């Protein structure tokens, strides 16, 4: 199992300004001084966590998806993050996973009712694990982090990726839950959050992290506006799973 170079893009987001957000994120990516395998952007990286679902939603294959494809081709990597996407009468908080040759997606399952997300968006139903450069990657969005059954490793993934707009007032929850997801699932975890303030007055502290399967903190972006990279060690992950195979004693279950 090869190593995976991952770049975390932690940034402020202009409220409901997709062009401005694509411009600033694109400039950051173009300024990277080394190659990478995977670039991770925040949740709703074109708009911020807006409940103006219909006004902000793009069609499948729309402007942002095409922009991500161009980035993936130009930088020979995968790029992931979520945007609002409209299909029929439904709008999804959709996490796109874009490689130079294909687009896959995961629709956020757990919608944040305290902000009314469950009234404006449609919940996804399907767990999504995508293969990329020898790694199996489980895609998750923000509030999904609080529901460990949905992310339970069934020996089907190596890396768990969360993209988020997670408010600073609950930053302790974010950091501790990311750590827990890594240790309980014997998997690497990457969580990317935004910084700054949104139009609703919510503050975001960032705290984007990369964590090894044994709970070692590999990268902590803290509150910086930054593109930070980390190498996930495939051989170390395999060795740890063999040395400490607690998954062999896991309880069996079925998710309805």
In angstroms, the CA 9 to CA 229 distance is 9
Domain ranges of the chain: 4-247
Q: Is the pLDDT of residue 40 over 90?
A: yes
Residues 6 or more apart from 145 whose CB is under 8 A from it?
151, 162, 164, 174, 177, 178, 181, 191
Predicted confidence (pLDDT) per residue in 66-125, tens digit: 999 999 999 999 999 999 999 999 999 999 999 999 999 999 999 999 999 999 999 999
Q: pLDDT at position 252, please?
A: 85
User: Has 43 been annotated as catalytic?
Assistant: yes
Per-residue pLDDT band for 230 (boundaries 50, 70, 90) equals very high
In angstroms, the CA 195 to CA 171 distance is 11
Per-residue pLDDT band for 209 (boundaries 50, 70, 90) equals very high
Q: Is the pLDDT of residue 256 over 80?
A: no
Q: pLDDT at position 96, please?
A: 99
Report how far Cα 204 is from the mean position of its chain's Cα atoms: 16
Specify the pTM: 0.97
Coil, strand or helix at 205:
strand
Q: pLDDT at position 255, please?
A: 73
Coil, strand or helix at 226:
strand
Average pLDDT over all residues of the chain = 97
What value does the mean pLDDT take over residues 181-201? 98
Q: Which two tokens stand for residue 61?
A: 């294959």
Q: pLDDT at position 26, please?
A: 98
Residues 6 or more apart from 19 whose CB is under 8 A from it?
none
In the DSSP assignment, the letter for residue 58 is B
Active-site hit among 11, 77, 142, 188? 142
Active-site hit among 65, 77, 108, 188? 108
In angstroms, the CA 108 to CA 106 distance is 6
Question: Higher pLDDT residue, 250 or 166?
Answer: 166
Q: pLDDT at position 12, please?
A: 98
User: What does R_g of the chain's alpha carbons equal in angstroms?
Assistant: 17
In angstroms, the CA 62 to CA 54 distance is 14
CATH T-level fold of 4-247: Nitrilase/N-carbamoyl-D-aminoacid amidohydrolase (3.60.110)
Query: Residue 109: beta bridge partners?
Result: none
What value does the mean pLDDT take over residues 236-244? 97
In angstroms, the CA 225 to CA 233 distance is 25
Q: Is the pLDDT of residue 253 over 90?
A: no
At 103, give phi and psi (nearest 5°).
Answer: -120, 125
Question: Higher pLDDT residue, 65 or 251?
Answer: 65
Active-site hit among 43, 58, 65, 117? 43
Query: Cα dihedral angle (173, 51, 67, 79), rounded to 10 degrees?
Result: 20
Report how far Cα 179 is from the mean position of its chain's Cα atoms: 15
Q: Is the pLDDT of residue 218 over 80?
A: yes
User: Has 142 been annotated as catalytic?
Assistant: yes
Q: pLDDT at position 6, please?
A: 98
User: Has 246 been annotated as catalytic?
Assistant: no
Q: pLDDT at position 87, please?
A: 97
């Amino acid at each position: 199992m090869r190593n995976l170079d991952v770049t975390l893009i932690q940034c402020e987001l202009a409220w409901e300004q997709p062009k401005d957000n694509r411009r600033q994120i694109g400039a950051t990516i173009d300024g990277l001084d080394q190659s990478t395998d995977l670039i991770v952007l925040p949740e709703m990286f074109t708009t911020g966590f807006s409940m103006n679902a219909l006004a902000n939603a793009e069609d499948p294959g729309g402007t942002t998806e095409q922009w991500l494809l161009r980035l993936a081709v130009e930088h020979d990597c995968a790029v992931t993050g979520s945007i609002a996407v409209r299909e029929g009468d439904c709008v999804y908080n959709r996490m796109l996973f874009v490689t130079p040759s294909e687009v896959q997606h995961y629709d956020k399952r757990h919608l944040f009712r305290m902000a009314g997300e469950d009234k404006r968006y449609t919940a996804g139903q399907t767990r999504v694990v995508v293969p990329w450069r020898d790694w199996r990657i489980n895609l998750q969005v923000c509030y999904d982090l609080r529901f460990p059954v949905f992310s339970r490793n069934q020996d089907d993934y190596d890396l768990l990726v969360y993209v988020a707009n997670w408010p600073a007032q609950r930053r302790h929850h974010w950091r501790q839950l990311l750590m827990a997801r890594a240790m309980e699932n014997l998997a690497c975890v990457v969580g990317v959050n935004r910084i700054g303030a949104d139009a609703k007055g919510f503050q975001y502290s960032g705290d984007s992290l990369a964590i090894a399967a044994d709970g070692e903190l590999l990268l902590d972006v803290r509150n910086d506006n930054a593109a930070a990279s980390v190498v996930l060690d495939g051989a170390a992950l395999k060795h740890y799973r063999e040395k400490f195979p607690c998954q062999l004693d896991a309880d069996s279950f079925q998710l309805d």
